[in-house]
């Protein structure tokens, strides 16, 4: 099994400053040129590095070297590397971009031949020869298709690792395989597997909400919680990205990784973080067909259907929407359904966790809305608790209302960091706690591989997803599906003007 240096298993210090960072870290920010917009690396990687740079979080001598097959000169690389930075028309930002460019350089080379990596190493040594400190660290960020992860990381280790006095770290991005078996082939030593949801502010906040509040902790189990929904909604379709998407589908794209990560943080016992996340995953059996709803968007209101995307194979049955219910067999969560829903081309952009509590004891109250705790991950980060209160006045009536912690109202001065900023900073600090450990990945695939093989038609005909109109909430079966797991839409109770105390 691969080794992974684990600096921290507990909640990382929230007060780490850049004084603790080492000097002279080198980041290889890329290894391929992203097609559509011709950017180097993931569109958010270089803006994140710039964000860290402008806030003083990049160690003093950090230099960023792009590496890809495309031949280009320094000026072209600088242009591409900074083209995705927002706010460049502001003079201060423009000055900072100019300063950031001084940290950039580029080497072109192949993925398969050692000579190219020797050339890269010579380039790195030349840069490092100007550093004051003897300790040089190198971070290799592989924004690459998985087919070349292995050869590239082998070449990096053979030709580009610093041998003395510094550390080497490799960052990789999903997809980490397509199922359990293919993921096992990709297990690499000492890697930081990025799931960018683990860098999102509200996902990080889950730990604090749960473990820094006795009141939350006290009702966080099967005795109080009826059902949980973790929802990902995007208001746009694949639109030209169908070639990639069709091979993967929505479960591999979003559910097996991002939403499952949210679920594990929501349900694990007290940190040690990564050990506890793995324990939860081990308690979840593979998803059943009966607990799965699949959908595919069709043309509506002038918007194209999935099959209208010219990059999608004709008659594809790839799901662009899925709802899957997971069960955790442990004493805390036995019997509580966790519904993970994700879809493209829906009615809104939203990622949230919705925890619905059980009904209050009948008797004093009837038809009263359930409490719901909603953690809005994006957009407009918020935590709000739907609860019942007495209507002001001389009569005793309960109305549903919210206790509302909407971030932009409560923390007016705060800048919420981008997920990639936060995760790259963790890598610089050598903190693995927000990255996906190899055994975690293995268990995550065990949960989803059987259902994915069924969807892929490995043992028979591929299931046909239910159509849903572009811009809708999803397939028509959705509300029945969720209801089956005990979810009660607050509709009637919520908007009904009053809920009476039965006996008063």
Ligand X SMILES: NC(=O)C1=CN([C@@H]2O[C@H](COP(=O)(O)OP(=O)(O)OC[C@H]3O[C@@H](n4cnc5c(N)ncnc54)[C@H](OP(=O)(O)O)[C@@H]3O)[C@@H](O)[C@H]2O)C=CC1
Contacts with ligand LXAUTJHC, 178-197, as mask; x by CB under 6 A? ------------------x-
Say which residues have a Cβ less than 8 Å from residue 156's Cβ, sequence separation at least 6: 117, 140, 168, 170
State how far the Cα of 408 lies from the Cα of 416, in Å rounded to an integer. 10
Q: Is 253 in the site for ligand LXAUTJHC (CB under 6 A)?
A: yes
307's tokens: 């099959």
Q: Is 489 in the site for ligand X (CB under 6 A)?
A: yes
State in angstroms the smallest separation of the CB of 52 from ligand LXAUTJHC: 18
32: phi then psi, degrees, rounded to nearest 5:
-150, 165
Q: Is 340 in the site for ligand LXAUTJHC (CB under 6 A)?
A: no
Binding-site partner at residue 254 among ligand X, ligand LXAUTJHC, none, CB < 5 to 8 Å by type: ligand LXAUTJHC
Q: Which residue in the block uniquely carries the two structure tokens 């992974």?
A: 4
Binding-site partner at residue 360 among ligand X, ligand LXAUTJHC, none, CB < 5 to 8 Å by type: none
Q: Are strands 39-40 and 33-34 parallel, antiparallel or unpaired?
A: antiparallel
In the sheet with 382-390, reading across from the earlier edge strand, the strands are 466-469, 292-298, 321-327, 337-343, 225-233, 350-357, 372-378, 382-390, 397-406, 499-500
Q: Are strands 466-469 and 292-298 parallel, antiparallel or unpaired?
A: parallel
State in angstroms the smallest separation of the CB of 354 from ligand X: 5
Q: Is 406 in the site for ligand X (CB under 6 A)?
A: yes
State in angstroms the smallest separation of the CB of 232 from ligand LXAUTJHC: 7
* Cα dist from 410 to 123, 129, 380, 405, whole Å: 48, 48, 12, 7
Binding-site partner at residue 32 among ligand X, ligand LXAUTJHC, none, CB < 5 to 8 Å by type: none
Contacts with ligand X, 194-233, as mask; x by CB under 6 A? -------------------------------------x--
Contacts with ligand X, 375-394, as mask; x by CB under 6 A? -x---x-x-x----------
Give yes or no: 123 in active site. Answer: no
At 12 the three-state DSSP class reads: coil
Q: Which is nearer to ligand LXAUTJHC, 26 or 254 (CB)?
A: 254
Q: Which is nearer to ligand LXAUTJHC, 81 or 351 (CB)?
A: 351
Q: Are strands 63-68 and 104-108 parallel, antiparallel or unpaired?
A: parallel
Q: Which is nearer to ligand LXAUTJHC, 196 or 277 (CB)?
A: 196
Q: Is 442 exposed, middle or buried (0-12, 13-18, 19+ CB in 10 A)?
A: middle
Q: Is 230 in the site for ligand LXAUTJHC (CB under 6 A)?
A: no
Q: Is 479 in the site for ligand X (CB under 6 A)?
A: yes
State how far the Cα of 281 lies from the Cα of 284, in Å rounded to an integer. 5
Beta strands in 120-223 (DSSP E): 137-142, 168-173, 191-194
155, 122 in Cβ contact below 8 A?
no
State how far the Cα of 373 lies from the Cα of 382, in Å rounded to an integer. 10
321, 491 in Cβ contact below 8 A?
no
Size of the site for ligand X (CB under 6 A): 13
Contacts with ligand X, 347-376, as mask; x by CB under 6 A? -------x-------------------x-x
Residue from 258, 329, 432, 453 carrying the catalytic annotation: 258
DSSP character for 431? -
Binding-site partner at residue 437 among ligand LXAUTJHC, ligand X, none, CB < 5 to 8 Å by type: none
Options 186, 254, 447, 452; binder of ligand LXAUTJHC; rule CB under 6 A: 254
Q: Is 311 in the site for ligand X (CB under 6 A)?
A: no
At 75 the three-state DSSP class reads: helix
Options 159, 210, 358, 473; binder of ligand X; rule CB under 6 A: 473
Q: Which is nearer to ligand X, 148 or 405 (CB)?
A: 405
Options 221, 276, 402, 477; binder of ligand X; rule CB under 6 A: 402
State in angstroms the smallest separation of the CB of 475 from ligand X: 11
Nearest partner of 119 among 75, 71, 77, 62, judged by Cα: 71
349's tokens: 């952009």
> Which residues are near ligand LXAUTJHC by CB under 6 A?
196, 234, 253-254, 351
> Which residues are near ligand X by CB under 6 A?
231, 354, 374, 376, 380, 382, 384, 402, 404, 406, 473, 479, 489
Catalytic residues: 258
């Amino acid at each position: 099994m691969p080794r992974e240096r684990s600096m921290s298993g507990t909640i990382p210090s929230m007060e780490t400053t850049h004084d603790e960072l080492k000097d002279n870290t080198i980041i290889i920010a890329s290894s391929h040129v992203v097609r559509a917009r011709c950017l180097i690396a993931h569109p958010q990687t270089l803006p994140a590095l710039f964000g860290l740079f402008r806030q003083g979080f990049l160690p003093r001598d950090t230099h960023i070297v792009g590496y890809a097959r495309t031949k280009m000169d320094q000026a072209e690389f600088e242009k591409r590397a900074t083209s995705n930075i927002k706010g460049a028309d502001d003079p201060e930002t423009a000055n900072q971009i100019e300063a950031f460019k001084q940290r950039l350089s580029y080497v072109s080379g192949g993925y398969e031949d050692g000579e190219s990596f020797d050339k890269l190493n010579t380039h790195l040594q030349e840069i490092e020869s100007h550093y004051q400190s003897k300790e040089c660290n190198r971070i290799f960020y592989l924004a690459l298709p998985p087919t070349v992860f292995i050869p590239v990381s082998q070449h990096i280790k053979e030709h580009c690792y610093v041998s003395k006095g510094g550390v080497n770290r490799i960052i990789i991005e999903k997809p980490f395989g397509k199922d359990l078996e293919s993921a096992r082939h990709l297990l690499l030593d000492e890697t930081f597997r990025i799931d960018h949801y683990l860098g999102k502010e509200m996902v990080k906040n889950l730990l604090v909400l749960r473990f820094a509040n006795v009141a939350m902790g006290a009702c966080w189990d099967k005795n109080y919680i009826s059902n949980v929904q973790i929802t990902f909604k995007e208001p746009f379709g694949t639109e030209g990205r169908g070639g990639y998407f069709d091979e993967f589908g929505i479960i591999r794209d979003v559910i097996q990784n991002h939403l499952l990560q949210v679920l594990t943080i929501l349900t694990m016992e007290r940190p040690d973080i990564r050990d506890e996340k793995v324990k939860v995953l081990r308690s979840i059996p593979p998803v059943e067909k009966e607990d799965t709803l699949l959908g595919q968007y069709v043309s509506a209101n002038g918007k194209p259907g999935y099959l209208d995307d010219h990059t999608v194979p004709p008659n594809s049955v790839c799901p662009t929407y899925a709802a899957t219910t997971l069960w955790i067999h442990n004493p805390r969560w036995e019997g509580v359904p966790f519904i993970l829903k994700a879809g493209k081309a829906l009615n809104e952009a939203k990622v949230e966790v919705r925890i619905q509590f059980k009904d209050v004891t009948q008797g004093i109250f009837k038809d009263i809305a359930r409490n719901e705790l909603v953690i809005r991950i994006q957009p407009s980060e918020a935590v709000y608790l739907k609860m019942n209160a007495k209507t002001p006045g001389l009569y005793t009536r309960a109305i549903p209302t919210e206790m509302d912690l909407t971030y932009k109202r409560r923390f007016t001065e705060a800048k919420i960091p981008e997920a990639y900023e936060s995760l790259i900073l963790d890598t610089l600090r050598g903190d693995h706690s927000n990255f996906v450990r190899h055994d975690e990945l293995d268990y995550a695939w065990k949960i989803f591989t059987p259902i994915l093989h069924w969807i892929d038609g490995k043992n028979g005909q591929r299931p046909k997803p239910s159509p849903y109109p572009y811009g809708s909430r999803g397939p028509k079966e959705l509300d029945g599906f969720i209801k089956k797991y005990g979810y009660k839409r607050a509709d009637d109770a919520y908007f009904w003007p009053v809920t009476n105390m039965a006996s008063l």
